Each structure stands twice: as structure tokens, then as C-alpha cells.
Amino acid sequence: MFSAKWISQDQLINSLDPRWVDGEDILREGGKSGDLACPHCQNEVVFRKGTVKRSHFAHKTLETCPLAKQSPEVLEAKAQLYGLLRTKRLEKVEMEVQLNLADKTSAFIDILVQHKGRNFGYFLFDRAIRLRHLLKDACIHQGITPVFIHTDSAFRLQPEGELLLHKSLRDLRSTSKYDDCDWSLSHRSHLTFLITASKELRIYRGLACIHEPNVYEWSTRRIAPLDEVKFDPNNGELIVQEDIEARKRFKEEQRKLEEEKKRREEEAAQRIQAERLRLAKRANDKMAASSAFRPHSFTSSPAVPQDATHPQTISKSAGDTLSSPEGTPDGNLRCRLCGTYTKDWVHSNEAEGTCLCHRCFQKMSD
């Protein structure tokens, strides 16, 4: 492990911190005097530095502490990732931060990044992880976005190019906005591998199972040296320049599609309006073509013409009734469109007892 508690100073120290490059003797003496302890199990640790392994702390005796069980491969991956994140001008980068799980046990986050009010927890695995679901739930409960990265030993590529994924890898697949940059990859997932031997990051996107349960094909592969890897401050994902360019192309395509959709909707609305106006004009033209039709007010009733040869006297005396136009009850006219008898009409043909009612006229005009 790379972190330890300096008991006399009551502070956490990191063996990878550049300030300890010239202070290795202090760390070595602190370990011998019992002034250094594991921040998780509180047992004494010593400082070690060799020609193969990076500077690190080790428990004096074999313990059940999870930090004592990390492989050299994971330690090297953790050191490389820590070095990468320190170059991104992030507000705070910590190593080996304790994480309390729901089953009352404790685990740790390999690297915790705090930046612009967001927390990102990086976990590195070289094998299957039994507590993977508890890790994810604990991170979400504590407001930490988990980012899972796998090392060399977890990477298994078939001769034909397919990936072999054990249960842990299948459960830890992630999705992000960069997986949607290809329409065919929508709603598919990705896995990220840190290859310590070549110091490069490999991202396999568009994972889809082609042979149950563990053979997966991929649609896009990103490979880049660690010093060219980018950090997404929105979700903590490690990406490469190709991801950024693909995302820009995808957003531009989406913008064009939205513009085309809006244009088609406007054209459809214009066609509908034009058709309505055409139908209204056609109906009005038909009404105007009949010489017997004439405009009439909405409120007045048709006047009863007085024939000089056969004069009629209109009387309201008891027992007198007015005769209605032929074929119309109570003096109403029948609308030629809806068939309703009404006095509220726009055009009338009194000879036929028909009209164009106000309501139908309004519908044709809308």
C-alpha cells in the first residue's frame, strides 16, 4: 500500500508524494520506531523501497487487512493512475480512503478524487471481486461516483478478437454518454483496462454478448498511452481524444436531425393550414355559385314577402298561426352540411328550405 498514518504527527502520508523523494530516511526510521501505522487496521507498517517495486508501506506481520492483500500488479496500476490524475489539476487526489459497507465491514477506495463539488472513487481490480455490489451501493449512498478499472490479469482477448468476461467483469460494465456516439452502440456498455506493462489505457465500447455467458464482442476500441488520457470532470471517466471527437460528431448529427425534424413539422403544419383554407374557399364558392343564396344577418329571421296580387295579413290574434316555409319546421332552415334545423345561418336558399349554418361556416374557416 502507498498510504500510512504518521502517528506522532497525526496525519496521513503517501509514499508516492514527491515531497518524500528526499525524505525516505524519515519514513524508514518511522517504520522501525513504530511511528507508522496502517490507516485501516491500525497495525504497524514499515517503509520499503526496492529496485523493482515502487516505494510503499507493508505490514510488519501478516494481517487480514485488505490493503495487505493487494498484488504488485494492482499496486503498480494504482501508482500509474495516481500519477496520471495528479497531472489533471484536480482539487484533491487521495489514495486508499476507507469506505464503510452495508454489511458493517469496511473496504477502501484506491483513489478518491474531489473536484468542483463532485467525488469520484477509482477501484482497480486484477481478479473477480466478491463485494462488488456492496462497493457500488456504498459509493452511491455516500455521494461518490464509482469508476472501475481492470488491470492486465483481467484482460483476456480471444484470437478472433472477442473478450472473455468473468462474472465480476460482466457486473461491473459501465455506460456513459460516450457509448452513444455511434447509433449502433446505443444503450450498450464498456469496460476500461489499464495495462501496466505498456502503460496504456484500453477502452472497449459497444459490448454485446455473442455466446452465453462470457464471450462478448465489441464495436469500438480506444487505445492511448497514459500521458494522453483525458479526465471527464462530469462523470470521472477516463477517455481519449477519439472519444471527444466522436462525441462532437454525434452532437452535430443530433443537431442536424433536430433541425430537419423541426423543418418537416413546420412544413406539415403549413400544408394542413393551406388545405383547410382551400376547403373553406371551395365551400364558399359553391354557396356563392347558387343564385338563390344570399347573405343574411345572424339574428334576423327571413322576411315574409308581401305579394301585391295575393296580399297576406299577419295577425297575432288568438288562434292565428304563421305558415312555415315548405319542408322546414317552425320557420327554421336545414343546413346542407350538418342537417340541423336552425335560424342561425350565413347563406340560405329559402326556395329549397336549406342553408349554411354559422357553426359549419366556422369549421370550414378554421
Q: Where are the domains of the chain?
A: 1-69, 71-239, 249-298+327-366
Q: Tell me what pLDDT residue 280 has.
A: 83
Contact status, residue 108 vs residue 97, Cβ threshold 8 Å: yes
Alpha-carbon gap, residue 164 to 148, rounded angstroms: 17
Here the cell at position 309 is 296580387
- Which distant-in-sequence residues (6+ apart) come within 8 Å of 147 by Cβ? 120, 121, 122, 123, 174, 192, 236, 237, 238
Query: Which own/partner pairs from 97-104 qualify as long-range (CB within 8 Å, at least 24 positions apart)?
Result: 97/121, 98/39, 98/40, 99/135, 99/138, 99/139, 99/142, 99/144, 100/138, 100/142, 101/131, 101/134, 101/135, 101/138, 102/134, 102/137, 102/138, 102/141, 103/134
pLDDT at 329: 54
Q: Are strands 200-211 and 220-225 parallel, antiparallel or unpaired?
A: antiparallel
Residues of the chain with pLDDT under 70: 51-52, 62-63, 182-187, 289-330, 365-366
Buried b (16+ CB within 10 A) or exposed e, 336-363: beeeeeebebbbbbbebbbbbbeebbee
Cα 328 to Cα 207, 320, 341: the distances in Å are 76, 19, 8
Return d(Cα 56, Cα 76) in angstroms, integer.
10
Q: Which of 63, 61, 28, 62 is nearest to 46 (CA)?
A: 28
The reported pLDDT for the residue numbered 121 is 97
Residue 366 is predicted with a pLDDT of 66
Q: What is the CA radius of gyration of the chain?
A: 41
The CB-side HSE value for 58 (13 A sphere, CA atoms) comes to 13
Cα–Cα dist 278/266, whole Å: 18
The candidate with the shortest Cα–Cα distance to 290, out of 356, 211, 245, 242, is 356
Quick one: which of 73, 53, 77, 57 has its CA closest to 65? 57
φ, ψ of residue 251 to 5 degrees: the values are -65, -35
Question: Please, what's the largest Cα pairwise distance for the chain?
Answer: 138
* Residue 197, pLDDT score: 92
